[in-house]
Amino acid sequence: MYNFDEMIDRGNTNAMSTDGFRGYIFGADDSMKFPYKDEEFIRMWVADMDFATPQVIIDAIKERLDRRIFGYTRILSDSYYNAFVDWCIRRYEWSFERKHLVMSNGIIPALFELVEYICKPEEKVIFLTPSYAYFKYAADYNHRECVCSDLINDNGRYHIDFDDFERKAANEKTTLLILCNPHNPTGRVWTEEELRRLGDICVKNDMWIISDEIHCDLLRMGKKHIPLAKLFPEYDKLVTCMAPSKTFNTAGLMLSNIIIPNEKLREIWLSRHYNFDNPLSVAGSQAAYEKGEHWLEELRVYLDNNFIFTRDYLAENLPKAIFEIPEATYLAWINVSAYFNKNENLPKFFAYKAGVLLEGGDMFVQNSDCFIRLNLACPKPVLAEGLKRICDAINTKQEKTAESDTHQLAN
């Protein structure tokens, strides 16, 4: 049994979660003041977890430390590949060739590089919205135009608007789809039928696909992830991105798996990318895939319970909020449009009025007005306090609005 209720102090560890929120959420510097001390905030924003990384990862890093030399390192032996491909076979019945695997110190930097290598300057990048903003940033940074295909929100359950996507994909200048599966922020896990339909449209239009599957291990119990490449094994204009970082809370170890079957693109990557890795990250990540499964299964149960608690708490205390437990991720995507209008700055409201740090819909490109995204990967007592503060702040706001309306009517 692992103790996910353990409260771990992240102070003075250069954590974005505790020390980077002013810049990332508010574009402000450290002079930005709040009616809460930094350590009083309930942090539900950046997507890393407040749970200790599995001991098997820590032990592997300690073991590598004892070798005492940390010179230039690259994944040269097959042991990391064997650990990761065995993981994919066990969990997704999918495998790939050793030579197709290249490493990146993050999926974000991989996206920035791959957009440049794949898309010509006048070409466009399409993705489904709302979207993780770095899909847009990867296109913007490379001066490639973004094309957004809004998902259809059917009272909290999201679907792909295939007519819209097909129409936009038919533009010959739209040459790359960045797919997010499971989808951040909605938490959808695309079905085989949806994936085949999306992939067929891309194949028909001779498009490249980057399938960002970083959240694929963090499924609700009973849900199944299908790697897109498993459905299109012969289509080599398809790059798959996975990583241990979301699954095992090792984003700071900066090691991601990029699977590039297309030989020409892989050669460009290997000639342009800085192909060295941190030896501690390699040791820890290999141990994650070799020995981390039991921890992951217990984490999934804990997260499922956090989601059930959140659903029930909101139903009782914020009945007009619309929230569906997502099929994957540890992120709760909540429609609070009954309580806010779309020009209100939600991260600011909750930071000042509730002492909660969260991400607002406006941080997810478009098709996201009046949403908040909560990171539920925290000890349940912290989650309970965060939800209480959020609901109290909104209900206080409602009461004040009702009072001022009554006052206006009386005069």
Ligand X SMILES: Cc1ncc(COP(=O)(O)O)c(C/N=C2\CONC2=O)c1O
Q: b/e for 341-367, b at 16 or more Cβ within 10 A?
A: eeeeebbebbbebbbbbbbbbbbbbeb
Binding test (CB under 6 A) with ligand X, winner from 49, 180, 219, 239: 180
Rounded distance between C-alpha atoms, residue 91 and residue 125, angstroms: 30
| Residues of span 286-305 touching ligand X by CB under 6 A | none
Q: Under the criterion CB under 6 A, does residue 214 sit at the interface with ligand X?
A: yes
- At closest approach, how far in Å is the CB of 172 from ligand X? 27
Structure tokens, 400: 């004040």
Residue 43 identity (one-letter amino acid): R
Nearer to ligand X, 88 or 339 (CB): 88
Q: Under the criterion CB under 6 A, does residue 108 sit at the interface with ligand X?
A: yes
Nearer to ligand X, 64 or 183 (CB): 183
Nearer to ligand X, 101 or 339 (CB): 101
Interface stretch with ligand X, choices 100-108, 262-270, 290-298, 398-406 (CB under 6 A): 100-108
Q: Under the criterion CB under 6 A, does residue 256 sit at the interface with ligand X?
A: yes
Interface stretch with ligand X, choices 93-101, 103-111, 257-265, 398-406 (CB under 6 A): 103-111
Rounded distance between C-alpha atoms, residue 408 and residue 229, angstroms: 61
- At closest approach, how far in Å is the CB of 243 from ligand X? 5
Nearer to ligand X, 243 or 351 (CB): 243
Q: Under the criterion CB under 6 A, does residue 212 sit at the interface with ligand X?
A: yes
- At closest approach, how far in Å is the CB of 397 from ligand X? 26
Interface stretch with ligand X, choices 102-110, 266-274, 308-316, 383-391 (CB under 6 A): 102-110
Residue 267 identity (one-letter amino acid): E
Q: Under the criterion CB under 6 A, does residue 240 sit at the interface with ligand X?
A: no
Angle between helices 133-141 and 107-118 (to 10 degrees): 40
Contact (CB, 8 A) for 334 and 374: yes
Q: Under the criterion CB under 6 A, does residue 372 sit at the interface with ligand X?
A: no
- At closest approach, how far in Å is the CB of 46 from ligand X? 4
Q: Under the criterion CB under 6 A, does residue 218 sit at the interface with ligand X?
A: no
Q: Give Cα 277 to chain centroid, integer Å.
A: 22
Q: Under the criterion CB under 6 A, does residue 61 sit at the interface with ligand X?
A: no
Q: Under the criterion CB under 6 A, does residue 47 sit at the interface with ligand X?
A: yes
Binding test (CB under 6 A) with ligand X, winner from 84, 132, 165, 371: 132
Binding test (CB under 6 A) with ligand X, winner from 160, 189, 216, 251: 251
- Using CB positions, name the residue nearest to ligand X: 106
Binding site for ligand X (CB under 6 A): 46-47, 106-108, 132, 180, 184, 212, 214, 243, 245, 251, 256
